[in-house]
Amino acid sequence: MAATRSPIGAPVPRLEGSAKVTGRALYTADVALPGTLWGKILRSPHPHARIVRIDAAAAWQVPGVRAVVTGQDVPGHFVGKTMRDMPVLCWERVRFVGDRVAAVAAETVDAAEAALDAIAVEYEPLPAVFDPLAAMQPEAPLLHDDLTRYDGAPRQWLATDVHNGVTRLAWRKGDVDLGFRTADLVLEHTFRVPARHEGYLEPHACLVAIDDDGRIQVWAACKAPFRARVQLARAIGVPEERIRVHAVQVGGDFGGKGDAVDVPIAYFLARQAGRPVKLVLSSAEDLATSNPSHPTIITIRSGVTRDGRLVARAARTVHASGAYAALKPNAALSTWHYVGGAYRVPHAAFEFLQVATNTVPGGYFRAPGAHQFTFALECHTDLLAQALGLDPAELRLRNLLEEGEEDAVGNRLRGIKAREVLQAALEASGPRPAAPGRHQGRGIAVFGRQIGGGAGGAVLTAERDGTLTVLSPTIDQGCGTHTIVQQLVAAEMELPLERVRVVVGDTDTAPYDEGPRASRVTYTEGQAVLAACRELRARLTEHAAELLYCREAEVTYRDGTFHGGERQASLAEVAARAGRGRPLTVTTALDAPHVEDVSYYCAQVADVEVDPETGQVRVQRLVTAHDVGTIINPVTHQGQIDGGAATGLGLALSEELLMEDGRITNAHLGEYKLPTVADMPPLETVLVQSPGGTGPHEAKAIGEFSNNTPPAAIANAVADAVGVRLFELPLTAERVYQALKARAAATDAPGEP
């Protein structure tokens, strides 16, 4: 028998691909239960107001209405990932345009919408504040009287000393004041980044049904079913065991689908109606009221020597948290994954502040907060190089971390490939563009981050026919997770891919899993799967020894067959014996540690052309270089890089949730400008491969890297092309044109007499 070829490194097609392209994949909106009602939510039109009165009597008169619930019917119920400060339905005060006030369930969508129109709410408008810096001023309206009273409030991080402060994360290293005193040059710059939508196509949706015995059945467009169960249980005050969250496809996430914010509303409607209730947000509703990234102001001050060595850095990042902190784990962004950066900084201080504002509550965007911080840091780095008269690449190369050095917050790192990645990107980019009469420029940016750990697990079954079934607790939100799982199991058990089946478990059938986040899935779920394979092989070997009449130590296994002496037995034969006629199942659950001493890196080089007459920026080419280990599936791996680059291009040039008095005014995908295939420049990927990855087969994370550097690389290229520096994203034609116009006006201004 020919040896089974390992599928590690093979471009295996996606397991779910056929179901998705043929329409067989089941999403939350597709789930159909008998008697299901349609739910709709009434939202506040005011950014800040006191609720004086709610009269829902007329809503009950609409034909087909079966449930009407207002905040005044269910006071005291809050929802949140960790800090539960967001009312399920508001009963006293609303704090942003879109805050949930009441909900209805009806036989049809039209009836539900008519019932919403019939609900009368009397508001007393209150002063509102939208900018986080303004919200910190003593005269600004206070959104929350006492954050400590909220269940789950992270007291160790609460910024109670700041007016409207929510959380503060801070790091210090060395003596920052001393560092600045020894610097030959100190520069400080401030940058602004607006709110962005994650850009998934499937809107938030959920379906809740309550069994006759009170068991709560949930389907939700949420990548973290176990966390959704926790959030729902705490929001409605029931034990987690009474809730089952079923697995469904998730139509894109990018950080935006880790919560169960509307599920408690569907529960209260279903409880009142005695029938299942489905809530599906419209695209406009999702864009305007879900959990965008945070509007952010970043101020960075750095001290350098004349020869370009960084000696001190202080950075303060202020995020507009929005009206609530509910949609962020720990009520803060996971800045610890990237704050250390890629540069050697002996003296440093970093502060990340969340401030409450009367705007849509901010949530997670892929690598939360990283694209904002990286834009500021890498643009600031170019400005340092300009002031010193150094090439931007040379300044970076002089300050990039080397093996075993400490990052800016004191983590001593190993396996550092920042220098190699940047050099590879520069080498692949070739000579700088130079076309007479054309305004062309080149920009670079570097990004480094650690990855997360946490709970994961797997259930592995040896079927009686010699095939294997993996029950995974991890939702594949588009990253190809289950295909990777299939490859890992097939490789470990030396079986053809077609003999490994992967299914998704729910909160009743699968071990606890924290869901996709922090570029951790291949690391955590992969380790759980390999542990299950090892345990299964050990148990099968024990029974194979009995079947082959030899000692366990004499049993070998290869290509799906057990060997002992001159005898052999197939996996199917051994599995049937081990399971006594039934499938043999093993379950693993692990808590993978966060690896604090390893950081992976990405570097990008952008070539642009700028039309000085209009300010239009065209990216001609984007080179992205990555620190990689073993690549388990090259197609999926490259898909992560290309998808991230597309996200970064949108963040750089077009994407912005426009707000007017707290209301999002471009809540339409025709106006919120996501990049399309026609907008993509030629992409070139360079892989710098080395051992030492923390994932299975020494794989390294790739998910949240290529999306963070394009804004800075493109902004630096624009400055190189036309000599104007933009400190705010996105780099729209209008902003570039206005900057060029302002520079021309300054140049033409008469001098002082």
Contacts of 478 (CB under 8 A, 6+ apart): 250, 251, 252, 253
Compute CA 94 distance to the chain's CA centroid, rounded to the nearest angstrom: 27
Q: Which two tokens stand for residue 373?
A: 């911080």
| Radius of gyration of the chain from its Cα atoms, rounded to whole angstroms | 28
Nearest to 206 by CA among 215, 223, 218, 224: 218
Q: Which strand (E) or helix (H) includes residue 628? A: strand 617-628
Antiparallel, parallel or unpaired: β 216-220 and 243-246: parallel
At residue 432, the pLDDT reads 82
Contacts of 708 (CB under 8 A, 6+ apart): 338, 367, 370, 371, 374, 447, 602, 644, 648
Residue 67 exposed, middle or buried by CB count within 10 Å (0-12, 13-18, 19+): buried
Given a contact cutoff of 8 angstroms between Cβ atoms, the answer to whether 253 and 200 are in contact is yes
Compute CA 11 distance to the chain's CA centroid, rounded to the nearest angstrom: 25
Q: How many residues does the chain have?
A: 753
| DSSP string for 260-315 | -TTHHHHHHHHHHHTS-EEEE--HHHHHHHS--PPPEEEEEEEEE-TTS-EEEEEE
Residue 454, beta-bridge partner list: 592
Given a contact cutoff of 8 angstroms between Cβ atoms, the answer to whether 205 and 221 are in contact is yes
Nearest to 422 by CA among 450, 452, 451, 402: 402
Residue 298, beta-bridge partner list: 191, 317
Q: Is the four-CA dihedral 367, 368, 372, 376 of positive or negative sign? A: negative
d(CA 606, CA 716): 9
Q: Which two tokens stand for residue 493?
A: 């058990």
* Number of other CB atoms surrounding residue 432 within 10 Å: 11
Nearest to 607 by CA among 595, 593, 624: 624
**Which amino acid, one-letter code, is at 188?**
E
In which residue ranges of the chain is pLDDT below 50? 752-753
At residue 581, the pLDDT reads 77
Q: Which two tokens stand for residue 201?
A: 């196509």
Antiparallel, parallel or unpaired: β 468-472 and 500-504: parallel
- Name the DSSP letter for residue 680: P
Contacts of 131 (CB under 8 A, 6+ apart): 320, 357
Contacts of 473 (CB under 8 A, 6+ apart): 225, 226, 456, 457, 458, 504, 505, 510, 511, 512, 513
Contacts 24+ apart (CB under 8 A), 565-571: 569/544, 570/466, 571/462, 571/466, 571/493, 571/495, 571/540
Given a contact cutoff of 8 angstroms between Cβ atoms, the answer to whether 692 and 698 are in contact is yes
At residue 460, the pLDDT reads 97
At residue 436, the pLDDT reads 64
Please calculate the CA angle 136-195-668 and round it to the nearest 5 degrees.
140
Instruction: Give all domains of the chain, ordered by start, each with its CATH number.
Output: 17-24+452-592 (3.30.365.10), 31-127+202-251+257-289 (3.90.1170.50), 296-451+596-745 (3.30.365.10)
Nearest to 715 by CA among 254, 383, 366: 383
Given a contact cutoff of 8 angstroms between Cβ atoms, the answer to whether 544 and 562 are in contact is yes
d(CA 510, CA 504): 8
d(CA 59, CA 116): 7
At residue 752, the pLDDT reads 39
Given a contact cutoff of 8 angstroms between Cβ atoms, the answer to whether 570 and 540 are in contact is no
d(CA 265, CA 277): 9
Residue 555 exposed, middle or buried by CB count within 10 Å (0-12, 13-18, 19+): buried
- How far is residue 649 from each of residues 192, 243, 254, 432, measured CA to CA in Å? 17, 41, 15, 20
pTM equals 0.96
- How far is residue 59 from each of residues 55, 65, 71, 109, 408, measured CA to CA in Å? 9, 7, 15, 14, 58
Helix axes 733-748, 710-722, angle to 10 degrees: 30
